[in-house]
Amino acid sequence: MVSDEAVVVLGAGPAGLGVAYELANRQVPVIVLEREDSVGGICRTVRGNGYTVDVGGHRLITKMDEVLSTWKRLLGEDLLVRERRTRIFLRGRLMPYPLRIASTCRTLGLSESLLAVFSYLAAGLHPLPDDSFENWVTNRFGRRVYQHFFRTYTEKVWGTPCSELSADWAAQRIRSFSLLDAMKDAVRGAFQPDLEADDESLLASFHYPRLGPGMLFEAYADAIAAGSGQVLTGREVVRIIREGNRIREVLTSGAGAKEHHAGGSFLSSLPLAQLPLLIAPPPPAEVLQAARALRHRSFVSVALLLDQPCALPDTWIYVHEPGVRMGRVQNYLNWSPELVEREGHSCIAAEYFAWQEDPLWTASDAEMTDLAVRELSDLGLIEPRSVVGATVTRVSHAYPIYDPGYRERVDTVRSWVESIGNLQTIGRSGQHRYINLDFAIMTGIQAARNLNGANHDTWLVGTEEQYLEDRPS
Quick: pLDDT tens for 345-379: 999 999 999 999 999 999 999 999 999 999 999 99
Is residue 258 in some structural domain? yes
Contact 342, 389 (CB under 8 A): no
- In the chain, how many domains are there? 3
DSSP assignment letter at 340: B
Taking CA 470 as the corner, what is the angle to CA 464 and CA 471, rounded to the nearest 5 degrees?
125
Instruction: Tell me the CATH number at 355.
Output: 3.90.660.20
Same domain, 78 and 133: no
In the chain, % of residues over pLDDT 90: 78
28-32, 184-188, 197-201: least confidently modelled range: 197-201
Contact 119, 179 (CB under 8 A): no
User: Structural domain of residue 306, as residue ranges?
Assistant: 296-400
Q: Pairing between strand 346-354 and 296-306?
A: antiparallel
Is residue 49 in some structural domain? no
Q: Report H helices in 126-178.
A: 133-141, 143-146, 152-158, 167-173
Mean pLDDT across 93-120 = 84
Same domain, 276 and 364: no
Is residue 104 in some structural domain? yes
Look at residue 41 and give its three-state secondary structure: helix
- Does the structure show a pLDDT above 90 at 173? no
pTM summary value = 0.91
Contact 23, 267 (CB under 8 A): no
Same domain, 290 and 300: no
Identify how many contiguous H helices and E strands the chain contains and give both numbers. Answer: 17, 20
Query: Based on the number of CB atoms within 10 Å of its own CB, is 437 exposed (0-12), middle (13-18) or buried (19 or more)?
Result: buried
When pLDDT is cut at 50, 70 and 90, the band that residue 182 belongs to is low
CB contact burial 371-387 (16+ within 10 A = b; e otherwise):
bbbebbeebebbeeebb
Same domain, 243 and 325: no
Same domain, 106 and 231: no
Is residue 164 in some structural domain? yes
When pLDDT is cut at 50, 70 and 90, the band that residue 203 belongs to is low
DSSP for 376-416, written as a single string: HHHTTS--GGGEEEEEEEEEEEEEE---TTHHHHHHHHHHH
When pLDDT is cut at 50, 70 and 90, the band that residue 196 belongs to is very low
Same domain, 387 and 429: no
Is residue 467 in some structural domain? no
Q: Which of 413, 409, 395 is nearest to 472 (CA)?
A: 395
Contact 82, 315 (CB under 8 A): yes
Same domain, 384 and 328: yes
Contact 229, 29 (CB under 8 A): yes
Same domain, 286 and 407: yes
Same domain, 120 and 190: yes
Mean pLDDT across 51-80 = 96
Q: Which of 435, 451, 462, 457 is nearest to 43 (CA)?
A: 435
Contact 396, 300 (CB under 8 A): no
Is residue 117 in some structural domain? yes
When pLDDT is cut at 50, 70 and 90, the band that residue 175 belongs to is low
Is residue 170 in some structural domain? yes
Q: How far apart are CA 20 and CA 30, in angstroms?
A: 6
Which H helix or E strand runs over 79?
strand 79-83
Mean pLDDT across 259-268 = 97
CB contact burial 295-306 (16+ within 10 A = b; e otherwise):
bbbbbbbbbbbb
Look at residue 345 and give its three-state secondary structure: coil
What local confidence, expressed as pLDDT, does residue 46 receive? 94
Instruction: Tell me the CATH number at 272.
Output: 3.50.50.60
First and final C-alpha spacing in the chain = 36
What local confidence, expressed as pLDDT, does residue 103 receive? 75
Same domain, 185 and 317: no
When pLDDT is cut at 50, 70 and 90, the band that residue 463 belongs to is confident
Mean pLDDT across 11-20 = 98
- Does the structure show a pLDDT above 90 at 329? yes
Which amino acid appears at position 119 of this protein?
Answer: S
Q: How far apart are CA 308 and CA 340, in angstroms?
A: 11
Same domain, 290 and 408: yes
Q: How far apart are CA 303 and CA 256, in angstroms?
A: 31
